[in-house]
Structure 1
Amino acid sequence: MIAETGIFDRTEKLIGKSGLEKLRNARVILFGVGGVGSFVAEGLIRSGLGFLTIVDKDIIDPTNLNRQIMANVKTIGKKKVEVMARRLIAINPLCIVHPMHECYTPENSDKFHLEDYDYVVDAVDMVTAKIDLAVKCQDNKVPLISCMGTGNKLDPSLFGITDIYETSVCPLAKVMRKELRNRGIKSLKVLYSREEPIIRETPPGSIAFVPSVAGLLIAGEVVRDLLKAED
């Protein structure tokens, strides 16, 4: 049992042994290990998740140091997924972390076998990838949560989790609503911000405490959903 290591004694007080067992047996795939995704991964593993696939094609560079949990001066130039995998296994040696140095696209979607997972997390920037993940997850009946824009913002208290068609303000969510409606997607769980962008620039501005909060909120939603899932 994962709880027998002592790592999750405090967690067991909240969710019980049966809850820990559910998380230990759950399989999650996370697309994007940046400012949001790195904190999603950290939150899931520290909560007792037993199997996590992390997918990202990027290399750590100096601009990542202000917001990505695995980024520091010693990891610059290294593959994000490999550095993140080592960090997660050092936190919980009993978990299985499968790093994939890949970029999800509609053309290569088959290699990720979404149907094998209990939950999918979308923390990527590319709209085409986000839309395709929503379509594929609906087709495979796999729960998905998708992160909308977190850049150019300063107030993490304005994040919320809702359906894509209940969102407002967020420019990315506006694009997603239109594209998903065109594809017949009637519902999609998302994290988004009600804050108007402070600036409108590309690449967006960022600060440590905004994407990190978004990532932990997503991790919490995934954990709660997994705990509620039928055995």
Structure 2
Amino acid sequence: MQNQFSRTQLLLGKEAIETLTESRVAVFGIGGVGGYTVEVLARSGVGQLDVFDDDKVCLTNVNRQIYALLSTVGKYKVDVAEERIHDINKKCIVNKYQMFYLPQNADTIDLSKFDYVVDCIDTVSAKLELIKRCHKLNIPIISCMGAANKLDATAFKIADINKTKMDPLAKVIRKKLKQLNIPKLKVVYSEEQPLTPIDDPNISCRFHCICPDKDMRKCTERRTIPASNAWVPAAAGLIIGGEVIKDIIKKAGTLRLNGDEK
């Protein structure tokens, strides 16, 4: 019988769809990149999604984030995500965590529950904590490097962290992982040289934060405000989502090879 995943099943096969239905994936950070990653996972039939973010939708998110609309400004992103996921797949179990994942609260999350973890966090200390814990537990993780201040959506590559270049965030993470004796990490990164954002006091959040009231991360307390657009973060999120789907079914042995029936 046809359903919303029929076209995907024509490509991946029934066994792969069943694998995805039984899978549980966590996405940490559901902004410009993470929101599109969740979109791929939901539309591919992943049976259980855990979304982590403490932000409310801000007007300045509307230019790039899938959950950001004029009608959702002021709403928590995890709430908007849950509603959208269920509008795609009512059977998907959504676990939402209105929180920023940090070293201080990392013990409250049992990462061993997840088949795959997606890191779309934008702070180095939190990214490292998540990567470190997944490494210790042998939980598959993919991490997004820098997607801001860039124009070329075709410059993204999938690689081990040790093979990245031209990405300032990847350089920092690579150095830290060596210190932690973590030998590898799957990442999506861009080889495009980032641009320097225009620091215009008339429109910069650094001077006039218009985010809905929240307890953390006021924009006026940030040293720089990253510039972004509609297509680059989205491309990164779509790439990550596809990698997660392929990795899950490959690990389960339900990935079609050379056109074989599954």
Normalised TM-score (structure 2): 0.85
Q: How many angstroms apart in 2 are the aligned matches of 1:82 and 1:124? A: 18
The residue that corresponds to 2:201 in the other structure is none
**Which of 208, 216, 224 is matched with 2:246 structurally?**
224
Shift of 1:153: 0.1
Q: Could you report, residue by residue, the CA deviation over 1:156-198 in whole angstroms, capped at 9, with x for unpaired residues?
A: 1000110001001111011101111101110000000000012
Secondary structure of 1:39's match?
helix
Shift of 1:92: 0.9
Secondary structure of 1:228's match?
helix
Query: Residue 197 of structure 2 contacts residue 225 of structure 2 at CA under 8 Å; is this kept in 1?
Result: no
Greater mean alpha carbon deviation, residues 54-63 or residues 102-111: 102-111
- Aligned residue identity for 2:62: L
The residue that corresponds to 1:212 in the other structure is 234
Superposed counterparts of 1:127-166, under 5 Å: 127-166=124-163
Shift of 1:229: 1.1
Q: How many angstroms apart in 2 are the aligned matches of 1:59 and 1:70? A: 10
Shift of 1:200: 5.0
Superposed counterparts of 1:18-167, under 5 Å: 18-167=15-164
- Aligned residue identity for 1:106: P
Contiguous gaps of at least 5 residues in structure 1: none
Normalised TM-score (structure 1): 0.96
Shift of 1:230: 3.1
Q: How many angstroms apart in 2 are the aligned matches of 1:8 and 1:43? A: 12
The residue that corresponds to 1:179 in the other structure is 176
Q: How many angstroms apart in 2 are the aligned matches of 1:14 and 1:227? A: 13
Larger radius of gyration: 2
**Which of 10, 13, 37 is matched with 1:13 structurally?**
10
Q: How many angstroms apart in 1 are the aligned matches of 2:170 and 2:180? A: 15
Greater mean alpha carbon deviation, residues 131-140 or residues 103-112: 103-112
Q: Could you report, residue by residue, the CA deviation over 1:6-59 in whole angstroms, capped at 9, with x for unpaired residues?
A: 111101101111000000000100000100000000010001111000000101
Q: How many angstroms apart in 2 are the aligned matches of 1:103 and 1:93? A: 26
Q: How many angstroms apart in 2 are the aligned matches of 1:197 and 1:107? A: 31
Q: How many angstroms apart in 1 are the aligned matches of 2:240 and 2:194? A: 21
Q: How many angstroms apart in 1 are the aligned matches of 2:60 and 2:182? A: 35
Aligned length: 228
Tell me which protein shows more helix as a share of its residues.
Answer: 1
- Aligned residue identity for 2:243: E
- Aligned residue identity for 2:225: P
Secondary structure of 1:98's match?
strand
- Aligned residue identity for 1:228: K
CA RMSD of aligned residues (A): 1.1
